[in-house]
A = this chain, B = another copy of it.
């Protein structure tokens, strides 16, 4: 998850929030007046990558042979074992797990039904960090808030003994920016409902489909706020609840949610390298996250991001020309539940020079735009990158860069960013649902991603220019 996810993560992880960067170049660079010739080395690697099979092989393998990979569970640990074996087999150097510990939340039973006025079951799923109901569930009247702001306006204490429902229906955008504005209902809504006395909260899934599959995702109960059971209804079920409530009769719901907090457990980042020729040139950090939510198999979120970045790095490894900068591929642990892997990485490696960080974590659909925020003296690198990406249908953005939750903590330390923006038009139809499976990955669009990442590495990892550190916006 990208910029908006970083914001989401920041909401989950208050200590990080203060460091969250909002990096803007002084002025968006104008496109060069005449076309820049693309280095044949770059062009050849890029074009060959359009036939890539490795990204799909990694995505297929991880989702099939491991399946879901909820953070700090034995499934994620199997994922790390799989990752180490795969990265070693591909020929990467210094392949290792860098472990860290974190609080562990696991899903339990989850059912809901309207008991009055029209008895029927509803489909929902607990949000990460949800508290549990008693095993027999709770039954309470439902207060319907169609918008998040309506919840904010509810008087203190007005939800005592009630289940709060929050609508706040999200529309898709190509850049995924609506996730920031609408996701607040999931990230902050449950804590607000708790403060106002609610015994539980159900939200409309943060997603853009109208299907019968709920979207999970993390919520946050800050210190001093009583955690309450919190779940997301599928869009069909949210519509149904709103239709029923619109009849004007009191609505009562029974809710059974039995997730558990298991205390601290172990997760880890899997790190692999292609050593560069110049030890002082800084690391190019790329990757995605290995963990996933537990409902699907984490194909678009984020096995495909691992496949794309690893396949691109492998092409550089096999190119016959060692890069100037060390390329470090990281399969981050525990992103979904609070960017624990990204923060552990920055803690361990923040002192090393990094000259670029970039993450693929927005599905597997085609890249349509790129962004960089290199030092002004490296404008030519961005120009060369633009020329190399243009034949893939990728245009230059507005000069704001810094996507990627896991690499966010490195941006906060001044590492320059390269964003390769994937189309978000269908991403939030599937995001965090049971439907995040291999079937959602389009092989041709996946290959376009690999070509773009290969071209990016072929330009950036070899560039003689200094790229950073860049100023960090406060």
Q: Which residues of A contact B (CB under 8 A)?
A: 60, 64-68, 75, 118-121, 123, 210-213, 235-236, 239-240, 243-244, 247, 296-297, 433-435, 437-439
Which of chain B's residues has its CB closest to A82's CB?
B118
Q: Which residues of B contact A247 (CB under 8 A)?
A: 64-65
Question: Can you list 19 A-B pairs, Cβ within 8 angstroms, ordered by A?
Answer: A60-B243, A64-B240, A64-B243, A65-B118, A67-B119, A75-B119, A75-B120, A210-B439, A211-B213, A212-B213, A212-B433, A213-B213, A235-B439, A239-B438, A239-B439, A240-B297, A240-B437, A240-B438, A243-B438
In the assembled complex, the Cα of A439 lies from the Cα of B234 at a distance in Å of 12
Q: Are A67 and B434 in contact (CB under 8 A)?
A: no
In the assembled complex, the Cα of A68 lies from the Cα of B240 at a distance in Å of 12
Question: With A212-B437, A213-B213, A437-B212 as given contacts, are A118 and B64 in contact (CB-CB < 8 Å)?
Answer: yes
Q: Which residues of B contact A213 (CB under 8 A)?
A: 211-213
Q: Which residues of B contact A123 (CB under 8 A)?
A: 434
In the assembled complex, the Cα of A118 lies from the Cα of B244 at a distance in Å of 42
In the assembled complex, the Cα of A210 lies from the Cα of B211 at a distance in Å of 13
Nearest-neighbour CB distance to chain B for A300, whole angstroms, equals 13
Nearest-neighbour CB distance to chain B for A451, whole angstroms, equals 26
Kindly identify which residue among B118, B121, B212, B437 contacts A236, using a CB–CB cutoff of 8 Å.
Answer: B437
Q: Are A244 and B64 in contact (CB under 8 A)?
A: yes
Q: Which residues of B contact A120 (CB under 8 A)?
A: 66-68, 75, 297
Kindly identify which residue among B66, B212, B243, B438 contacts A118, using a CB–CB cutoff of 8 Å.
Answer: B66
Which of chain B's residues has its CB closest to A295's CB?
B212
Nearest-neighbour CB distance to chain B for A178, whole angstroms, equals 20
Number of copies: 2
Q: Which residues of B contact A437 (CB under 8 A)?
A: 212, 236, 239-240
Nearest-neighbour CB distance to chain B for A109, whole angstroms, equals 10
Q: Are A236 and B435 in contact (CB under 8 A)?
A: yes
Q: Are A434 and B212 in contact (CB under 8 A)?
A: yes
Q: Which residues of B contact A239 (CB under 8 A)?
A: 437-439
In the assembled complex, the Cα of A296 lies from the Cα of B213 at a distance in Å of 12
Which of chain B's residues has its CB closest to A296's CB?
B212
Q: Are B244 and A435 in contact (CB under 8 A)?
A: no
In the assembled complex, the Cα of A434 lies from the Cα of B210 at a distance in Å of 12
Kindly identify which residue among B66, B75, B211, B439 contacts A435, using a CB–CB cutoff of 8 Å.
Answer: B211
Q: Which residues of B contact A240 (CB under 8 A)?
A: 64, 67, 297, 437-438
Which of chain B's residues has its CB closest to A240's CB?
B64
In the assembled complex, the Cα of A175 lies from the Cα of B437 at a distance in Å of 30
In the assembled complex, the Cα of A243 lies from the Cα of B67 at a distance in Å of 12
In the assembled complex, the Cα of A189 lies from the Cα of B473 at a distance in Å of 64
- Beyond the given A65-B118, A211-B439, A243-B438, please list 10 additional residue pairs across the A-B interface where CB-CB is below 8 A: A64-B240, A64-B244, A64-B247, A65-B247, A67-B240, A75-B120, A212-B435, A235-B439, A236-B437, A240-B438
Which of chain B's residues has its CB closest to A60's CB?
B243
In the assembled complex, the Cα of A120 lies from the Cα of B297 at a distance in Å of 9
Which of chain B's residues has its CB closest to A236's CB?
B437
Which of chain B's residues has its CB closest to A67's CB?
B120
Q: Are B439 and A236 in contact (CB under 8 A)?
A: yes
Q: Which residues of B contact A210 (CB under 8 A)?
A: 439
Kindly identify which residue among B64, B67, B118 contacts A67, using a CB–CB cutoff of 8 Å.
Answer: B118
In the assembled complex, the Cα of A243 lies from the Cα of B66 at a distance in Å of 12
In the assembled complex, the Cα of A240 lies from the Cα of B64 at a distance in Å of 6
In the assembled complex, the Cα of A60 lies from the Cα of B240 at a distance in Å of 10
In the assembled complex, the Cα of A247 lies from the Cα of B66 at a distance in Å of 13
Q: Name, among A66, A239, A247, A437, the residue most crowded by chain B CB atoms within 10 Å (CB to CB).
A: A437
Kindly identify which residue among B211, B236, B438 contacts A211, using a CB–CB cutoff of 8 Å.
Answer: B211
In the assembled complex, the Cα of A123 lies from the Cα of B212 at a distance in Å of 14
Which of chain B's residues has its CB closest to A113's CB?
B67
In the assembled complex, the Cα of A213 lies from the Cα of B119 at a distance in Å of 23
Nearest-neighbour CB distance to chain B for A120, whole angstroms, equals 3
Which of chain B's residues has its CB closest to A439's CB?
B210
Q: Which residues of B contact A121 (CB under 8 A)?
A: 67-68
In the assembled complex, the Cα of A296 lies from the Cα of B211 at a distance in Å of 11
Q: Which residues of B contact A235 (CB under 8 A)?
A: 439
Nearest-neighbour CB distance to chain B for A310, whole angstroms, equals 20
